[in-house]
Structure formats: structure tokens, C-alpha cells
Amino acid sequence: MSENTDLIVGIHDLPRRPGTMKQLAREVDAPADLGVEMIRVPAGSPVQLELTLESAGEGVLVRGTAEAQLEGECVRCLGPIAYSDTFDVEELYFYAGRDAEEDSNFIEDDEIDLEPALREGIVLNLPINPICKPECLGLCQVCGFDLNEDPAHAHEATTDGRWAALRGLDLA
């Protein structure tokens, strides 16, 4: 079970009759390690959940959205990235004793732990190579200068003989 009690939802008031639903709107603290190498939801930051819990025969289907803040580093210029995004969440939780895959989520003591649903919905949909803006120019390969600050940045020293010759032709 999640250590974050905000993420535990009691379903004792949700009849097992298929199709019965319960709405859940709740702000929770983001659990730790909700992210990938270059981008993540900061631990403890607010996540807005808008979920529907629906009795679905063998278990309860949790469906809806999670709006979260994201923090990361641009893979091109290494500058900070910060924005919020809304993720689709959809996860089936099986009633205890149901025949299901080993890595399935189960309902324990009439409670659902939303953490795996959040991980599934958010972490798997984060960009692997986040960028600060689509037109980010990245860093100079020679000296590491941020090319966004001066797109014309160049190094004279990299000019080789061939280019010098062409330049000579231009001048002629």
C-alpha cells in the first residue's frame, strides 16, 4: 500500500453491481520518484485527480485524469523545463481472490491504492527527450555555449583549408 494516505480510496460505498459508479475529485501530494531521468513530477507537489470508479464485474475500473506539475531538463540545452500537463488514467483493480496476472492491482480491505494508476498514467507518458521549446538550438558542440542566446555563435578555428579556399573564390 502507498505510504501516502491521500492515494488510498475506500470503496465500501460502491456496490459491486456492474456499471455502478462513484466520482472522485481530490488533490493529492505526488509520491516520490514519479518520473523518468530527464523529467518528473516533484515529490509532494499537488496533483489534481478527477476520477470515476466503476464496478466492472471482476473488479473496479478507475478512469479519469490527473493534472500534475512537471520539472525537468531540456535534453538539448540542459535548461530547466517547468509546465503542467493532464494525463489520462485508466487502471483496473481486481477484487481479492480473482484470477489475474501476478502484477495486477488488487483491492485490499475495500480500499484502492491509486499510486500504481498514477504511475501507469503519468510516468509512461512523459517525454523521454524533453525539450524546453520546439525551436531550442541546444549547445555549441565545441564550447558548450547556449546557442539560444546567440544563434550566430561560431568558431573561426574550425574553418579548414577547403572552406578558406571557397571563401577566397567568393572574394575574387
Binding-site ranges for Zn ion (CB under 5 A): 74, 76-77, 79, 132, 136, 140, 142-143, 145
Nearest approach in angstroms of CB 70 to Zn ion is: 15
* C-alpha closest to that of 118 among 37, 54, 63, 57: 63
Nearer Cβ to Zn ion, position 100 or 140? 140
- Shortest separation between residue 71's beta carbon and Zn ion, angstroms: 14
Q: How far is the CB of 81 from Zn ion (least distance, A)?
A: 8
CB of 130 to Zn ion, least distance (A): 9
Please give the single-letter amino acid code of residue 150. Answer: D
Which residue's C-alpha cell is 505510504? 3
- For cell 503519468, what's the residue? 122
Amino acid at 65: T
CB of 38 or CB of 56, closer to Zn ion: 38
Complex with Zn ion: residue 82 or 142, whichever CB lies closer: 142
Residue position matching grid coordinates 500537463: 85
Report the C-alpha gap between 40 and 43 in whole angstroms. 9
